[in-house]
Amino acid sequence: MRRFVPVAAIATSLAVLSCAQAAVAPKIVTLRNNGATLTMQKGAHRQLHLTNQYQWSGLRVKGSAVRAVGIYFLRDPGYRAWDLMAQTRGKTVITAVGYGANKPGSCDPGPCSPRYFHVTLLVR
């Protein structure tokens, strides 16, 4: 019976470590959160802002835990925005690709190279 205690302790510590790696999602998710795993509570709303320094491809949402709805502005605030709604428990990965602004002769040495954005959202 005693030999099962260390196994249970190891399993518990691994579960704590995996939870510690996922930070709570900020009110506004930006490029600073690129590559992060963030947690949201079911029913919570957050916003995703991606700067207009890049022309972003359509947002790709893989998973059904979070729904992303575009926000449209009458005046350009300098970013594209989406409302992120945590609908069900689970995992959603959001990705987008941005390309540098189309300015003649500005692609050298690299503003036209793609900028990849991805964030993983865990809904609890």
CATH of the domain at 40: 2.60.40.2020
Q: What's the pLDDT score for residue 71?
A: 96
pLDDT confidence of residue 8: 47
pLDDT value at residue 102: 58
Residue 78: predicted pLDDT: 94
Domain count of the chain?
Answer: 1
Q: What pLDDT shows up at residue 15?
A: 47
* Cα gap 22→111, rounded to integer Å: 31
Mean pLDDT, each 10-residue run in order, the chain (124 residues): 50 48 89 97 97 90 97 95 97 93 57 85 96
Q: What is the residue range of 68's domain?
A: 22-123
pLDDT given at position 64: 95
Assess contact for 64 and 88: CB atoms under 8 A.
yes
**Is the separation of the CB atoms in 121 and 40 below 8 Å?**
yes
* Residues contacting residue 10 through CB under 8 Å, at least 6 positions apart: none
Q: Give domain status of residue 17, yes or no.
A: no
- 42 φ, ψ (degrees, to nearest 5): -55, 130
d(CA 124, CA 118): 20
Q: Classify residue 1: in a domain, yes or no.
A: no
Cα(86)–Cα(96) distance, integer angstroms:
19
Look up residue 65 and give its two tokens: 């835990």
Question: Residue 31 domain-assigned?
Answer: yes
CA 50 – CA 28 distance, rounded (Å): 10
**Residue 6 corresponds to which tokens in the numbers above?**
């260390």
pLDDT at residue 109, as a whole number = 56
Q: Is residue 76 part of a domain?
A: yes
Structure tokens at 123: 């809904």
